[in-house]
Structure 1
Amino acid sequence: MLRPLLVLPSAQRNQLLHTLELGLEVQHKAVSRLLGIHRNTVTHRITRCFRLVGLDRHHVMSKVVVSAALKIIAVHGYDDTGTDPASDFTEMMTAPDMRSWAEAFLEPLKDVGGDLLLTLGAWLENNTDAEHTAASMSTSPAAVRAHLRSATPLMQHEVAPGLVADQTPDGDEHGLSALRPLTFALYASTGLPAIPAALRATP
């Protein structure tokens, strides 16, 4: 999946990978300060990375899968003559151990009732946009945001960092540290949010 990015000349590849790794974890404004570059440059580099691998940077599952692939590469390295380390993502996420972890992770949410899990799943399917989530569920954005806030103490971390009153942060500004485990757990348990078509087509 990441091969088009990883086979770039080393200086260019390293610059893009470093910006991408940071940009998937913290807000772009913070990345720009850390790297000493303009915020627009951060966004441009990240957009280029996603275009190279054929994925949409606005799509939550795309960002989660890319971040997982980057972490796998950081630990295991990458052989450009071998198998893409993210190509068996679906198999990895549906393994029995992963399903068991997902069930345990989501258990506190299940105890509250199905509505909370449904809301979280729809929120991720709608790329963390509360307005679109509300429309897809025939409810109000305020109700969606209330559910997001109620999930925080149950999961022992903030599901939507920066969520205050009736505002949600821009989807591009979500760090994945909170979203990644929730997205993995829901996918392993329910198959949603869906994996992007471009990734499903990867051998």
Structure 2
Amino acid sequence: MRHASAGRTPLVPLLPHAEAGTWARALLRPLGSTPRVTLDITRLAVTFPRSAVARLLDISRNTVSHHLGRVETTLGLDLGEVRTRAALDLAFCLAGGQPDGGFGTECGRPEPTLDELFRTEPAHAWAREFLRPLQDTRGRDLYATLRAWIDANTDAQRTARHLGLSRNTVRAHLRAAEHLLSRDLLTTGSGIHDLVHALHITGLRPVD
């Protein structure tokens, strides 16, 4: 069956190709004249902390922030928001890292929304499989923490206050969830983006 291990495979190939390409290109289109170095820094910074990007590229953190500020202004988005970074990373993946994405031009075709892409059955199958390890009693506690953590923009202290837990307990839940989901949630953004997408998808009604 195609989706038997969907939660352990990338989401990108499961999205409708033409529609996903149209969505990605629409989101990235304002960056068409942006210098390549700015795009490269942004592509890294949606997944890794700014300090890590600075070390990797041997530039200052202020330089990284300057490039990201240009992108934020151009797109009208806040890259400090985890859901924004997840959406932008998905768009870069769909477009091969470039604003035009090599998808060509659809004449008169309406631009789909991310919600429309995520309402497809393959996306729902992927999200269900991704979150399946959290279905037992212990997992449900972790699920509540993960949802609150994303709602708190991955701020463990805010999550702890919201749930009435200690910050150490929240981090222990995150480490346990990492093991169950086979995703890195505390070091890089890729696992967090998968979690953001899975929670987004399961919160939508699938297309009949």
TM surpasses 0.5: yes
Between the two proteins, what is the percent identity of the paired residues?
A: 34
Question: Judging changes above 3 Å, is the alpha-carbon distance between structure 1 residues 113 and 30 closer, same or farther for their aligned structure 2 residues?
Answer: closer
Q: Which runs of 5+ in 1 are unaligned?
A: 162-174, 192-203
Tell whether the 8 Å contact from 2:118 to 2:124 is kept in structure 1 after alignment: yes
Tell whether the 8 Å contact from 2:159 to 2:170 is kept in structure 1 after alignment: yes
**Is 1:99 paired with 2:124?**
yes
In the TM superposition, structure 1's runs of 4+ consecutive aligned residues that sit over 4 Å from their partners are 78-87
Offset from partner CA, 1:39-72 (integer Å, 9 cap, x none): 2101221122122111111110000001111111
Give me the CA root mean square deviation.
2.5
TM-score, normalization: structure 1? 0.75
Tell whether the 8 Å contact from 2:184 to 2:190 is kept in structure 1 after alignment: no
Offset from partner CA, 1:178-201 (integer Å, 9 cap, x none): 21111111111125xxxxxxxxxx
**Match for residue 110 of structure 1?**
135
Residue 98 of structure 1, CA deviation: 0.7
Counterpart of 1:27, as a letter, is P
**Match for residue 200 of structure 2?**
187
Counterpart of 1:182, as a letter, is L
Q: Per the alignment, in what secondary structure is the counterpart of residue 185 of structure 2?
A: coil
Q: Distance in 2 between matches of 1:85 and 1:69?
A: 17
Residue 135 of structure 1, CA deviation: 1.9
**Match for residue 90 of structure 1?**
115
**Match for residue 143 of structure 1?**
169
Q: Which runs of 5+ in 2 are unaligned?
A: 1-26
**Is 1:176 paired with 2:189?**
yes
Q: Per the alignment, in what secondary structure is the counterpart of residue 25 of structure 1?
A: coil
TM-score, normalization: structure 2? 0.74
**Is 1:21 paired with 2:43?**
yes
Question: Judging changes above 3 Å, is the alpha-carbon distance between structure 1 residues 149 and 36 closer, same or farther for their aligned structure 2 residues?
Answer: closer
Residue 86 of structure 1, CA deviation: 8.2
Tell whether the 8 Å contact from 1:24 to 1:176 is kept in structure 2 after alignment: yes
Tell whether the 8 Å contact from 1:60 to 1:124 is kept in structure 2 after alignment: yes
Q: Distance in 2 between matches of 1:81 and 1:144?
A: 46
Counterpart of 1:94, as a letter, is R
Structural mapping, 1:33-52, within 5 Å: 33-52=55-74
Q: Distance in 1 between matches of 2:30 and 2:110?
A: 13
**Is 1:32 paired with 2:54?**
yes
Counterpart of 2:66, as a letter, is H
**Match for residue 18 of structure 2?**
none
Tell whether the 8 Å contact from 1:102 to 1:189 is kept in structure 2 after alignment: yes
**Is 1:158 paired with 2:184?**
yes
Counterpart of 2:199, as a letter, is L
**Is 1:71 paired with 2:93?**
yes
Q: Distance in 1 between matches of 2:158 and 2:93?
A: 30
Q: Distance in 1 between matches of 2:65 and 2:112?
A: 26
Question: Judging changes above 3 Å, is the alpha-carbon distance between structure 1 residues 136 and 83 closer, same or farther for their aligned structure 2 residues?
Answer: farther
